[in-house]
Amino acid sequence: MLEARVAVKNLQAYCPPLAGRQGLRLDFNESTDGCSPRVLACLRSLDAEALAKYPERASVEAQVAHFLDLDPLQVLLTNGVDEAIHLICSTFLEAGDEALIVVPTFAMYGIFASAEGAKVVEVPAGEDFAFPLSDLLGKITERTRFIAVANPNNPTGAAVRHDLLLQIAQAAPHAALLVDEAYFEFHGETLIDHVGSVPNLFIARTFSKAYGLAGLRCGILAGPVDQICAVRRVASPYNVNAIALAVLPAALGDQQYVDHYATEVRHNRDLLQQELRRLGLQYWPSRANFILVRIGEAHAKFVAALRARGILVRDRTSDPGCAGCVRLTIGSNQHTHTLISAVREVVAELDLPRKVQA
Ligand code: PMP
């Protein structure tokens, strides 16, 4: 009888709540405004030939590389950052190798590493989700072949100092260090300038968040030429679809649109943080387009009460160190005002215990 590999049978399925997402979607850190109108115009102009042909990635890859000030050989376009993670795991992990992640974090690092038969070593973040540098360095062994750090991290919104990341890269030269900058546009700081000079450093970016194109499935993996060349061998030549490739230049070309949205989100992040403070709810200062809030025992009721008001947010209570926590995506001005009004109502309705402000 046909059986899946043991590593696959042992995988914990990752099942994000994808069904029934009607309403104001503040549960997946998507853009609430959607993409640039220039992207939509480009999409509408596509003809049958554009779809009949196999997609051609190279010229768009070169444009993305130029935008990032990198060599085209240092850049691989992927089917979202998800695929970039998958490809890194397939390229570098043998069964029995170790993958190091700091938890809580984005689930796909652990899933793709486990699927290769690697042992996932989880390093818990410190108090208030402080980055546990010395614990992480202490867990590096000769079998460590993959280390993933989301910067800023999901679901905490915390950022890691660049010198710490470079220290990790140096301490584990035999491991691929993936710095996942999916939320770069809301943070504004990047390690991309170190691509090529640090021999085991990879950076991932996505069009799913600030560009408003999560449905298109397009991400970027950047790394040293020789390592990207190895990763490219594992990727399908058609991994990024023709529609994504056709509209990507328009998306990149409208930086004003992306900057405007990111600026609005940063402003609204301050507003929401202020409001959470006023309401006496514990939250962690975020560098991304979401905020993690501790609601406590009433977390599921809080999520349900917002849903009853047409707003979807994500319960993160099962994530390590996140008991009672809910993650709220920050969107445009109007959407944030809607969220803030609803949160005020729900906090009053549920009579949540408030943290005493220092
Ligand atoms: N990395 C992080 C840290 C994320 O939070 C997410 C999405 N939630 C992704 C990657 C996935 O990005 P993509 O849509 O490009 O696959």
Residue range 159-191, pLDDT digits in tens: 999 999 999 999 999 999 999 999 999 999 999
pLDDT at residue 21 is higher than 90:
no
Residue 62 to residues 116, 195, 248, Cα–Cα distance (Å): 30, 16, 12
pLDDT category of residue 43 using cuts at 50, 70 and 90: very high
On whether both 13 and 84 belong to a single domain, the answer is no
Q: Within a domain: residue 261?
A: yes
Residue closest by Cα to atom 5 of ligand 1: 154
In the predicted model, what is the mean pLDDT of residues 38-52? 97
Answer yes or no: is the C-beta of 106 below 6 A from any ligand 1 atom.
Answer: yes
> How far is residue 209's CA from residue 185's CA, in Å, rounded to a whole number?
9
> How far is residue 353's CA from residue 206's CA, in Å, rounded to a whole number?
38
Encoded tokens for 312: 């979807």
Mutation pick for ligand 1 pocket among 25, 89, 108, 240 (CB with most ligand atoms within 8 Å):
108
Q: Give distance in angstroms: CA of 176 to centre of ligand 1.
A: 18
Q: Is 309 helix (H, G, I), strand (E, B) or coil?
A: coil
Encoded tokens for 291: 């905020």
On whether both 177 and 216 belong to a single domain, the answer is yes
pLDDT at residue 358 is higher than 50:
no
Answer yes or no: is the C-beta of 84 below 6 A from any ligand 1 atom.
Answer: no
Identify the domain boundary among 227, 253, 279: 253
What's the confidence (pLDDT) of residue 12? 83
Q: Give distance in angstroms: CA of 214 to centre of ligand 1.
A: 9
On whether both 205 and 114 belong to a single domain, the answer is yes
Q: What percent of the chain has pLDDT over 90?
A: 94
Half-sphere exposure of 331 (CA within 13 A, CB side): 24
Q: Give distance in angstroms: CA of 81 to centre of ligand 1.
A: 6
Ligand 1 atom closest to the CA of 79, numbered from 1: 16
pLDDT at residue 124 is higher than 50:
yes
pLDDT at residue 318 is higher than 70:
yes
Identify the domain boundary among 218, 253, 288: 253
Range of the domain at 18: 6-30+256-349
On whether both 238 and 222 belong to a single domain, the answer is yes
- Give me the CATH number covering residue 176: 3.40.640.10
On whether both 233 and 279 belong to a single domain, the answer is no
On whether both 228 and 281 belong to a single domain, the answer is no
pLDDT in tens, 274-306: 999 999 999 999 999 999 999 999 999 999 999
What's the confidence (pLDDT) of residue 352? 86
On whether both 235 and 343 belong to a single domain, the answer is no
On whether both 327 and 232 belong to a single domain, the answer is no
Q: Give distance in angstroms: CA of 142 to centre of ligand 1.
A: 28
pLDDT in tens, 235-280: 999 999 999 999 999 999 999 999 999 999 999 999 999 999 999 9
| Total number of domains constituting the chain | 2
Q: Within a domain: residue 113?
A: yes
Answer yes or no: is the C-beta of 121 below 6 A from any ligand 1 atom.
Answer: no
pLDDT in tens, 82-111: 999 999 999 999 999 999 999 999 999 999
What's the confidence (pLDDT) of residue 353? 79
Residue closest by Cα to atom 9 of ligand 1: 81
What's the confidence (pLDDT) of residue 210? 98
Q: Within a domain: residue 357?
A: no
What's the confidence (pLDDT) of residue 356? 55
pLDDT in tens, 126-152: 999 999 999 999 999 999 999 999 999
Q: Output the pTM of the full model.
A: 0.97
pLDDT at residue 357 is higher than 70:
no
On whether both 174 and 286 belong to a single domain, the answer is no
Answer yes or no: is the C-beta of 207 below 6 A from any ligand 1 atom.
Answer: no
> How far is residue 77's CA from residue 54's CA, in Å, rounded to a whole number?
15
Neighbouring C-beta atoms of residue 62, cutoff 10 Å:
14
Name which of 177, 27, 12, 151 is nearest 92 in CA terms.
177
